Amino acid sequence: MDNAEIADVFDELAELLEFHGENPFRIRAYRNGARAIRELDEPVESILEDSSRDLADFPGIGKTLRDKAHALISTGELPQLKKLRRETPEVLMAISRIPGLGAKKAVQLQEELELQSLNDLRQACEDGRVSKLKGFGAKTQEAILEGLSIAEAAAARIYWAEGDLLAQTIGEHMKKCKAVKKLEWAGSYRRGRETIGDLDLLVLASDRQAAMDHFVAFPERTQTIARGDTKISIRVRKAFQVDLRIVEADQFGAALQYFTGSQAHNIHVRRLAKECGLKINEYGVFRMDDDQCVAGKTEQDVYKSIGLPWIPPELREDRLEFEWAEQDPLPKLIEPSQIRGDLHMHTSETDGEATIREMADAAIDRGLSYIAITDHSQRVSMAMGLDPERLRQQWSLIDEIRKEYEGRLEILKGIECDILEKGGMDLPDDCLAEADWVLASIHYGQKQSRDQITDRILGAIVNEHVDCIAHPTGRLINRRPAYELDMEAVMQAAKEQGTLLELNANPARLDLNDVHLAAAKRLGIPIAINSDAHSIDGLDVMRYGVMQARRGGLARENVANCLTWNQFKKRFLK
Ligand code: DGT
Ligand code: CA
Ligand code: CA
Ligand code: ZN
């Protein structure tokens, strides 16, 4: 059982206990424990096996959770969880999450109407059966119907890339308001998380009512959830929430720090402040003895007041940032402008939209000095993957094209070669040997066991022709979980063999994730941030990958395609 599975169990326990009205401290302990375990970069199992260490000593875990983790790993289950699950059907949990319906009403609805799913509830509302129940009326029934569709849409977190588009549109709208003097985004969007639950906007305004009125007039607004003196929340499009807060100039930095989060980071910040005799909140930093304000105008001041350098938002997850900040300087995080190459892209020869020349021109427009053309191999028949013959034809075409681009762009003869379900590569060694650059990746057999998938990837890593493992975990954010994989073994092997790992910049992939990236950095495994573009525009996703790399703490020197062409060639090509 891997860390993510253990964390999922603790999260589920927390949710079930919450449903049963359990003590909030206990619930929070499970949530914190889940989070701590999810972010460990080594398996819980190996910590438990190591008699010199105690899992209970790890931050956020403790004795109870250690024992549960132990039981989970040795027996594969928890009697407590089984019992809770029996007592709480999934549908009951889902009903109780609808705005305005608590656990009690959910039970009544479920029992009296014998509901099996949220769809049953929708049907019951539409047939008017809910309004006939005791304690429910026509109004409640209508509210439930509306709550149902909002709950569905609001539960969905959106990709950072979508949040970015929305934030830019809202930003442009707000800048047209004369009362708006300053505008900053906070929250998970500013931290560059993979997905965004809601957007958080801070505004300095000469006239706060005017600023809020202008916000309400945003053309894509569908609802105003709540409007107060300094805060207003609206829904845009289907149900996505945007919070706006009006902030005073001399408190702007404190508010920005507070609302950027993460909550875990802020808890740590407040603890450090306390040790310095200071109190931090969204209004400023105050001396505990006399309440005197010592900082608040800028974020730099806030961090400085507790002896820390300014911490980039992408690092604010209470992982390693405080350790790093003490060492000073913090790692100089990679910037989009430092990317010089792109080592994964497709053309119209398989499932891409553009030709090699079109991709090459677009790469030059984007300031790149080298690219690899990596179409699919034959196994990916849906994408018309290349067999050795077609691949060799493409490579001789690249030989031609290279001459046209001499001095402007290096074009590598590459391939994204599938790792077969039974193990081994989809193209013969003599063919791979002729490539400049070989990506290996899994597209089939993703449901195989952890051992099978790990062996397949290890097999690719030890193949002398393979340069890089593409999208190593196969996950699609919000759509498909990562396949079962012993990431530690993969990383060890990659390190030994000098095989690179990819950070696929597609906003639905962002694979590797931030925690894996931090582990790769620690092990000294170079990362290639690649667009996996299937069109000219597809090249523009590179910046999402850079954002993810920053969250993993990566600097320019950790990223292979930040090297100049000559450096890259010397270090990574045979
Ligand atoms: P999201 O919206 O789920 O993607 O994640 P965030 O991090 O944007 O969370 P959100 O929108 O609830 O709050 C924004 C930040 O404001 C959060 O990261 C930390 C801070 N914050 C909000 N509410 C609280 C709170 O009750 N306690 C603490 N300590 N911080 C809070
Ligand atoms: Ca948020
Ligand atoms: Ca929020
Ligand atoms: Zn690809």
Amino acid found at 160: W
Say what the pLDDT of residue 39 is.
81
- DSSP class of 563: S
Element (H or E) spanning 271, and its range?
A: helix 263-275
* Averaged pLDDT of the chain: 94
Check whether the bond before 512 is cis (ω within 30° of 0).
yes
Mean pLDDT for 7-18 is 88
What ligand has the least distance to the C-alpha of 262?
1
**For the whole model, what pTM was predicted?**
0.79
CA 114–ligand 4 middle distance (angstroms): 47
Q: Is the pLDDT of residue 237 over 90?
A: no
Mean pLDDT for 557-573 is 97
Query: Which among 243, 263, 280, 318 is the best mutation to test ligand 1's pocket, defined by most ligand atoms within 8 Å of the CB?
Result: 263
Q: Where does the pLDDT of residue 89 fall: very low under 50, low under 70, confident under 90, or very high at 90 and above?
A: confident
Long-range contacts of 229-238 (CB under 8 A, 24+ apart): 235/150, 236/166, 236/170, 237/166, 238/153
Taken in order of first residue, the domains within the chain and their CATH numbers are: 3-154 (1.10.150.110), 158-246 (3.30.460.10), 251-327 (3.30.210.10), 336-572 (3.20.20.140)
Residue with CA nearest ligand 1 atom 9: 187
What ligand has the least distance to the C-alpha of 199?
2
**Percentages of the chain per state (helix, strand, coil), in multiples of 5:** 50, 15, 35
Atom of ligand 1 nearest to the CA of 198: 2
Say what the pLDDT of residue 199 is.
98
Q: Where does the pLDDT of residue 104 fall: very low under 50, low under 70, confident under 90, or very high at 90 and above?
A: confident
Q: What is the pLDDT of residues 155-213, one digit of tens each?
A: 678 999 999 999 999 999 999 999 999 999 999 999 999 999 999 999 999 999 999 99
Distance in angstroms (rounded) separating the CA atoms of residues 322 and 91: 42
Cβ atoms 29, 59 nearer than 8 A? no
Q: Which residues surround ligand 3, an ion (CB under 5 A)?
A: 198, 200, 243
What ligand has the least distance to the C-alpha of 506?
4
Mean pLDDT for 139-150 is 85
Mean pLDDT for 226-246 is 92
Distance in angstroms (rounded) separating the CA atoms of residues 413 and 263: 47
Percentage of residues in the chain with pLDDT exceeding 90?
79
Please give the C-alpha separations between residue 9 and each of 80, 84, 469, in angstroms, as whole numbers: 11, 12, 30
Query: Could you tell me if the CB of 188 is within 6 A of ligand 1?
Result: yes
Q: Is the pLDDT of residue 479 over 90?
A: no
Two tokens at 436? Answer: 């400049």
Distance in angstroms (rounded) separating the CA atoms of residues 71 and 76: 7
Q: What is the pLDDT of residues 239-250, one digit of tens each?
A: 789 999 999 999
Q: Where does the pLDDT of residue 508 fall: very low under 50, low under 70, confident under 90, or very high at 90 and above?
A: very high
Mean pLDDT for 77-103 is 83
Two tokens at 545? Answer: 């990958």
Q: Where does the pLDDT of residue 151 fall: very low under 50, low under 70, confident under 90, or very high at 90 and above?
A: low
Burial class (CB in 10 A: 0-12, 13-18, 19+), 416: buried
> Residue 372: beta bridge partners?
412
Distance in angstroms (rounded) separating the CA atoms of residues 115 and 516: 41
Query: Could you tell me if the CB of 282 is within 6 A of ligand 1?
Result: no
- DSSP class of 260: H
CA 346–ligand 2 middle distance (angstroms): 35
Q: What is the pLDDT of residues 299-327, one digit of tens each?
A: 999 999 999 999 999 999 999 999 999 88
Mean pLDDT for 397-415 is 97
Label the pairing between strands 341-342 and 370-373.
parallel
Residue reference for tokens 């077609």: 390
Mean pLDDT for 518-542 is 97
Q: What is the pLDDT of residues 326-338, one digit of tens each?
A: 887 889 999 999 9
CA angle 429, 430, 435 (to 5 degrees): 90
**Nearest Cα residue to 89 out of 120, 66, 63, 62:** 120
Q: In the 3-class helix/strand/coil scheme, how is 11-22 assigned residue by residue?
A: HHHHHHHHHCCC
Q: Where do the DSSP E strands lie in 353-499?
A: 370-373, 410-418, 437-441, 468-469
Query: Which among 158, 159, 188, 318 is the best mutation to test ligand 1's pocket, defined by most ligand atoms within 8 Å of the CB?
Result: 188
Residue with CA nearest ligand 1 atom 22: 259
Two tokens at 164? Answer: 């970015």
Query: Could you tell me if the CB of 198 is within 6 A of ligand 1?
Result: yes
Tell me if residue 279 falls in helix, strand or coil. strand
Residue with CA nearest ligand 1 atom 20: 259
Distance of CA 459 to the CA centre of its chain: 28
Two tokens at 422? Answer: 């039974």
Query: Could you tell me if the CB of 233 is within 6 A of ligand 1?
Result: no
